[in-house]
Structure 1
Amino acid sequence: MQQPNDPSLENWHDYEVQSQREIVALLRGIRDKNQLVRMLINGEADVCVTSVLDVDPDTRTVLLDWSVDREQNRRAIAAKRVRCETFLDKIRILFDAAPLTEAQYKGSPCLRMDVPETLIRLQRREYYRMPTPVSNPIKVVIPLPEELGGGTQSFPLADISVGGIAILDNNKALGETIGVDFPNCRLELPEVGPVITTLQVRNLMDMTLLNNKTNRRLGCQFINISRGNLANVQKYITKLERERNARLSGLA
């Protein structure tokens, strides 16, 4: 998916869904609940409202409702960039639709697109990510499987939420491990205590720094985290929020 031009999605890779099965399920949910879809043609200047008519995982096609404006349909088909935005169960969903072609659905014209390779599922507010300290970074210790060399390795956090963490893997020690579970990971949260949980790598992004060095950022989800550990995560996030608010008000 192209990088969204949206300040609220600064860490959009953290919310990217890459599983085709999950993407199809989300699109079918949008269809079944008759959710309206806002379609942006080459940006905000040309917008129409559509809906998902059908999703076929076998042919990897999605059918969208035809705009009442024929000229707008022509522009959508000709556009190099078409982005769709909608909501499912109060969660914001974004996906790219281009290229679009004309098709038929139950005898009426419609727009056809491929099932997107990825989409963004922007979690509810409780999954808001808080940046962690840079000067004295929080570390997570991850036991590595034998195929990655075994032993344990420590990684600095970039941010944290009650849904998971983002870590920096400068040496690419975790490799291309999207979808892989790492059990018994240990987070040491200052003034709160340790958190032990399984982490699943959900996405990765290689970033080029100003000095031309690369850094790998991995978005990780907590898997089957216990209530006690989740409570500690929430306490730490609350602590970070208090500190940030104090800085903004000039009290710290």
Structure 2
Amino acid sequence: MNFEDSSEPSQAELEQASDESSPMSDERYRLTHPSQIGTVLRDLAWQKCIVNVHARSGHDLVTTVLHVDPAARSFVFDWSRSETECEALLESSENAFSASLRGVPVNFVIGKPAATDFQGGPAFVASFPEKLYHFQRRRHFRARTLVTKGYSCELRTPKGQVMKLDIADLSLSGVGLRSKALGVEQLPSGAVLEKCVLDFRELGKLTVNLQVVGHWAVSSQNGGIYHFGCAFSSLDGRLENFLQRLVFQLELAHRG
């Protein structure tokens, strides 16, 4: 492994979590029991998490979970100021939800919601999804990247195809990659990718070995966008120090 550091060293205190290590399959995160699904939805409501909804028609809505009814196996989420967005969701047979709960990705899909009234205002109500993916917390703090920066990862797929993916986030444990061109068939869970080049432009480059530990669709529009969670393999101390500085710099840039 090698890396090229074009930035000055910075000292940082990074948050760390003590949860379990990275998973090897999305199915480890799949929840199907209504009580488990209800617990996650209640947490989303309690934490007032921002939830992104993507309708099959291509419309997007930003909302929050307002109320969860475990007995009825339904939940209420906030209305939109845009009537176009509301109509799109009410007519869509498939609506994909994505959120971050305490830094942990949550994804699920529902059918058509219905209009309802909640505490005197308009809202949506929908049945619990049949399954919900609640991804484990990473071992280390994860910094998201700014899309406008154009950070990328060049890698060779198991079939020998050289591809360039966007870098969505970075931690001391691994990196999140996104692509419109690659699907789960080209980068399946468990695949080992050697000599991947992570290019953070003005912040530097590094060459690492990665292993795909999970994947999910973040959008179904225009062929879909897939997110690939990848773990670092065999990092030495010097590279870890560089990653720590890099994660801190990315977080500062995102907050700024």
Q: TM-score range by the shorter chain?
A: 0.3 to 0.5
Structure-2-length-normalised TM-score: 0.47
Structure-1-length-normalised TM-score: 0.47
Task: Indicate the structure whose relative CO is greater, using CA pairs within 8 Å and at least 6 residues apart.
Answer: 2
